[in-house]
Structure 1
Amino acid sequence: MTAANETSPHSAAAEPASETAPGTAEGITSHDLPLPAGLAKAMAENWDPAPAMPHPASRGGTPSTGAATFARNRAAVSAAFGGQLVVIPAGVLKVRSNDTDYAFRAWSAFTWLTGETVEGAVLVLAPSGTGPDSGHTAALYVREYEGPGTPGYFTNRVHGALWVGNVPSVADTGAVLGVATRPLSELGRDLEAHRGRPVLAPRGVDPAVDALLPSAEAGRLEQVLDELRLIKDDWEVSQLQAACDATARGFADVAAELPTVLAGGGRRGERWLEGTFWRRARYEGNEVGYSSIVGAGQHATTLHWWRDDGDLADGQLLLADMGVEVDSLFTADVTRTLPVNGTWTDTQRQLYGAVLESQEAAIAEVKAGADFLAAHRAAMWVLADHLHSWGVLPVTADVSCATDVEAPGAGLHRRYTLHGVSHMLGIDVHDCAAARDETYRNGRLGAGYVLTVEPGLYFQPNDLSVPPEWRGIGIRIEDDVLVTDGAPVNLSGGLPRQPDEITAWMREVQSRPVRP
């Protein structure tokens, strides 16, 4: 299925039951009722226009609060690619199975440039001249759904307004987002005016755009986009703060459910808690920003424990790595490790304290001008020092390894720490991934960068190098930190991290019902 094809596995209502609908995946047959000519004629008559749909980025019809940011972002891309046609698609629906699709999520750079999140939309930056300083004219192409009086109103399950509801008008979209907006049906004709001009477009995001622009190349486009996205302005920081605040409420919901899960025997408690957080994410935003990691007991030692199908038991630790993606698609990424029954054992508290100390040392290094890896080195030094003092590491933290990025413990600490401490955060959970090493991993932090700080200790259940009582314990603490010209700002600092504060917070949230 392509963005230009209005038929799909979902538009099969107009087809005879024994035939395959146009656009349906090969081998899939429609079993819907045929559409008699009389019904088709009747369905085309006696309708008022489809109910109006306000744009989700507006509040009472007012322009989006991010419109100035989107315009700034487009201007930055225009300055980088003067004289070149730039085409950025939102992407298309992806099949989940048979004739059902995944919920749509727009290509991140597209939303960063427009504030739009709908399937099939396309941004075109058309050069105003041929020189590198000529600037661009922006046009956003959005789909108009099939409305009353058209056959697709009743037959098109993907873009028929009777099936899925109407969409904002082209004019309303432009007014809300602050950009000239045109019907998607005009995209092909408008691009004809630029035939023969060099064009930049990401490949594989929208097959229809690929077909319209067969000579397009991505070139440096994705790299430049991601490097521009490293610095967040005030509006983008406000979106990340909103995501962190919603995430904190989701964590409170999860903590409040722990006694209920334990009282019920703990069966598949990870799934119950995953669903609890997902409800908060859907209520307060668009979705979760990534698959939630909810690991109880030894599951916490698996870094990406996405099965979330384990039981909960009294005395375990729960490692929950979760984030709400708000409607603008900016996401939080937060981890807390909680004692399931609300009480730390001496061993749990000892190990947790080391991770917390390492995180605090790392956050202190998050400042403008510092190199990206400074926080990682600070955290690893603290953890390696603890591991040596506990008799786990045979060497002190200051013993270096020529092939290792960290000096602590000749790199041997990595058996228990496993991963890096930070990654960029923004409209993607692992933001700006196409940026060059010299601007990201080997670069310097600038005011407006937002990154995670997430050290951990993981003692595998089969690791004979640590005491038996440590085996199967995983601890991670993660926060989202804004770089400024002064002290770092912990955007997710509203969630407690100190052991006693955590248990007091758990008692407090468990004393009141979970509410929207």
Structure 2
Amino acid sequence: MSEKQPAKASHRSSPNSDAFRSFIAQGWAPRDQTRPRLCEAARYAAPRRAALSEAFPGQRLVIPAGGLKVRSNDCDYVFRPHSAFAHLTGLGSDREPDAVLVLDPLEEGGHEAVLYFRPLAPRESEEFFADSRYGEFWVGARPTLESMQAELGLQTRHIEQLPDALAKDAGLVELRVIRDADAEIAALVDQVRSTSGALTSHEQVEQNALADAELARHTSTMRLLKDEWEADQMRDACAGTARAFEAVVADLPEAVRRGRGERWVEGTFGLHARHHGNGVGYDSICASGDHANTLHWIKNTGDLRDGDLLLLDAGIEVDSLFTADVTRTLPISGRFTPAQRKIYDAVYAAQCAGIEACRPGNTFKDVHAAAIRVIAEHLFTWGLLPEGVSVEESLDPEGQYHRRWMVHGTSHHLGLDVHDCQLALREDYMEGELRPGMVLTVEPGLYFKADDELAPEEFRGIGVRIEDDILITQDGHENLSAMLPRTADDVEAWMARILAG
């Protein structure tokens, strides 16, 4: 005897009589049949797919966009496709949850790229009016198979055909899937493997896991080098971010007056992020006073007070999903105090050294080494390193005393993800040589917590970080966020102009 299942709660009233179904399907104007042009992003996605095809000959590659995620009850978060999917299709923004890109091997070599997704449902279907997650009445019209094919320049099929497509030649064609993109699709791939006998032993399970991880790592690593279109997307993200920073400065007096000013700053930046692009690339850090010494302060619940600093770490993600990542530390009153300026100037000097190291032929870790040496030198000069410890002794791996006041690294790769290419191996990332097309942040800081009894009293409660987005070029670098001032004098002059109206 089976257990009785609990009744499923339903709090929506949806008419379902045959008369209503017939009525709602009638009286609509013909749909626009105009097919879109091939989108610009898709032009650049095609050669990426070709490179991926060459790296995995004869194998069926499964790259899911991912599905909707519940925020609360029956409300979903705004959808964002997996970065590998966006990179290989050109679909950005909140496009096509549950879609799956499959690179299907061809007998003559290479792959056919096929996008499986949920296309526009007919008006006589129940989905049209009753499905609150996918229905046209609720979330708008989706593209047709034909329009999506025209937009992306690849074959399109209904998502319902995906299981059969993955099962084709099961056991003869190796399957790989980016597992973290969509758990349901990963489970479907495992089911196909199991049915074909390719998932019957512990050893085979481990081999499949390694194969999947290799695919994910490869798609992450191939984003280390940006093409010119991607570089332009990054420039656009930085330009929009700079305008949002200007808007924050213009509204600082209101943020001070209102109370809970960190939230006001967050909202001001978020407004411009949503207007300029897809939104923020990550939760904005709007840290006033001692909050700046919490590296990932995203609660943003504090007040803004004249005399304190505001550390604003924020970036706009444009519709293609490329994001900026910029930090400026601003005197809320418009003028740095002597202690604030002393710390700020030290961080600025460290950042200049790090940026100078951003050139082809250097390694990624050279950037941190250059910046952190300047940090250690300032801390030594201020007498903050342990007695008898030199700069060189602190920089030694067995020392690292200076890291008390800058515990984080100086850089990370930037692109579709704010911390991009995170699956790349150490030899390609930390030990990797800087090459034209790479984009990385340079973001040294100094953080003196309010309760730090080893710090001078005048430093306590002050946190400073300066961060810019740097594109490696053939002969050096380009600071993509250079439109925002960096020196203390320039920051004060810039703020004065904005606040004067």
Equivalent residues of 1:47, 1:148 under 8 A apart? no
Match of 2:204 in 1: none
Question: What does residue range 395-474 of structure 1 map to in structure 2 within 5 Å?
Answer: 395-400=389-394, 402-404=396-398, 410-474=399-463
Equivalent residues of 1:123, 1:140 under 8 A apart? yes
Q: TM-score, normalised by structure 1?
A: 0.88
Among 315, 323, 328, the alignment partner of 1:336 is 328
Structure with the bigger percentage of helix: 2
Among 188, 194, 205, the alignment partner of 1:212 is 188
2:314 aligned with 1:322, yes or no?
A: yes
Among 151, 162, 168, the alignment partner of 2:137 is 162
2:96 aligned with 1:102, yes or no?
A: no
Among 245, 257, 266, the alignment partner of 1:251 is 245
How far does the alpha carbon of each residue in 1:61-89 deviate from its partner, in whole angstroms, 9 at most, with x for none?
43222223101110111011001000111
- Cα 1:511–1:140 shift into 2, 3 Å: farther
Question: What does residue range 75-86 of structure 1 map to in structure 2 within 5 Å?
Answer: 75-86=50-61
CA–CA separation in structure 2 for the residues paired with 1:54 and 1:108:
29
- Cα 1:210–1:383 shift into 2, 3 Å: closer
Among 292, 305, 308, the alignment partner of 2:284 is 292
Match of 2:342 in 1: 350
3-state SS of paired residue (1:443): coil
Equivalent residues of 1:28, 1:98 under 8 A apart? no
2:194 aligned with 1:200, yes or no?
A: no
CA–CA separation in structure 2 for the residues paired with 1:364 and 1:504:
25
Aligned-residue sequence identity (percent) comes to: 44
Equivalent residues of 1:44, 1:151 under 8 A apart? no
| 2:97 partner amino acid | E
3-state SS of paired residue (1:384): helix
3-state SS of paired residue (1:139): strand
- Cα 1:167–1:254 shift into 2, 3 Å: same
Greater mean alpha carbon deviation, residues 181-190 or residues 387-396: 181-190
Greater mean alpha carbon deviation, residues 353-362 or residues 215-224: 215-224
Q: CA deviation at 1:213?
A: 1.7
CA–CA separation in structure 2 for the residues paired with 1:246 and 1:360:
23
3-state SS of paired residue (1:308): coil
Match of 1:306 in 2: 298
- Cα 1:167–1:52 shift into 2, 3 Å: farther
How far does the alpha carbon of each residue in 1:191-212 deviate from its partner, in whole angstroms, 9 at most, with x for none?
3334222100022432442343
Greater mean alpha carbon deviation, residues 353-362 or residues 111-120: 111-120
Equivalent residues of 2:22, 2:124 under 8 A apart? no
How far does the alpha carbon of each residue in 1:138-187 deviate from its partner, in whole angstroms, 9 at most, with x for none?
11122113341111111101111111110222222222222222232332
Equivalent residues of 2:325, 2:468 under 8 A apart? yes
2:115 aligned with 1:144, yes or no?
A: no
Among 114, 117, 131, the alignment partner of 2:89 is 114
Question: What does residue range 113-132 of structure 1 map to in structure 2 within 5 Å?
Answer: 113-116=88-91, 117-129=95-107
Match of 1:90 in 2: 65
- Cα 1:362–1:31 shift into 2, 3 Å: same
- Cα 1:400–1:507 shift into 2, 3 Å: closer
Equivalent residues of 1:147, 1:160 under 8 A apart? no
Q: CA deviation at 1:386?
A: 0.9
Q: CA deviation at 1:485?
A: 2.0
Match of 1:370 in 2: 362
- Cα 1:212–1:460 shift into 2, 3 Å: same
Match of 1:23 in 2: none
How far does the alpha carbon of each residue in 1:486-509 deviate from its partner, in whole angstroms, 9 at most, with x for none?
121101111111112112211222
Q: CA deviation at 1:51?
A: 5.2
Equivalent residues of 1:87, 1:125 under 8 A apart? yes
Match of 2:45 in 1: 70
The aligned length equals 474
Equivalent residues of 2:21, 2:124 under 8 A apart? no
Among 265, 278, 297, the alignment partner of 2:270 is 278
| 1:297 partner amino acid | G
| 1:250 partner amino acid | A
- Cα 1:39–1:289 shift into 2, 3 Å: farther
Q: CA deviation at 1:49?
A: 5.7
| 2:231 partner amino acid | V
| 2:426 partner amino acid | D
Q: CA deviation at 1:453?
A: 0.3
Equivalent residues of 2:376, 2:395 under 8 A apart? no
How far does the alpha carbon of each residue in 1:377-416 deviate from its partner, in whole angstroms, 9 at most, with x for none?
1111111111111111233322256535xxxxx3110000
- Cα 1:294–1:176 shift into 2, 3 Å: same
Q: CA deviation at 1:39?
A: 5.3
3-state SS of paired residue (2:440): strand
| 2:480 partner amino acid | L
Equivalent residues of 2:360, 2:435 under 8 A apart? yes
CA–CA separation in structure 2 for the residues paired with 1:97 and 1:72:
39
- Cα 1:183–1:463 shift into 2, 3 Å: same
Q: CA deviation at 1:50?
A: 7.3
Greater mean alpha carbon deviation, residues 199-208 or residues 355-364: 199-208
Equivalent residues of 1:40, 1:151 under 8 A apart? no
3-state SS of paired residue (1:175): helix
2:150 aligned with 1:175, yes or no?
A: yes
CA–CA separation in structure 2 for the residues paired with 1:34 and 1:65:
40
Q: TM-score, normalised by structure 2?
A: 0.90
Q: CA deviation at 1:36?
A: 4.7
| 1:465 partner amino acid | L
Match of 1:48 in 2: 28
How far does the alpha carbon of each residue in 1:399-447 deviate from its partner, in whole angstroms, 9 at most, with x for none?
256535xxxxx31100001110000001000000000001101221111
3-state SS of paired residue (2:392): coil
Q: CA deviation at 1:188?
A: 2.6
CA–CA separation in structure 1 for the residues paired with 2:50 and 2:142:
28
3-state SS of paired residue (2:393): coil
CA–CA separation in structure 2 for the residues paired with 1:50 and 1:105:
31
Equivalent residues of 2:54, 2:110 under 8 A apart? yes
CA–CA separation in structure 2 for the residues paired with 1:34 and 1:311:
47
CA–CA separation in structure 2 for the residues paired with 1:377 and 1:315:
33
Equivalent residues of 1:50, 1:161 under 8 A apart? no
Q: CA deviation at 1:322?
A: 0.2
| 1:105 partner amino acid | R
Q: CA deviation at 1:45?
A: 3.2
What stretches of structure 1 of length at least 5 have no aligned partner?
1-19, 21-25, 56-60, 405-409
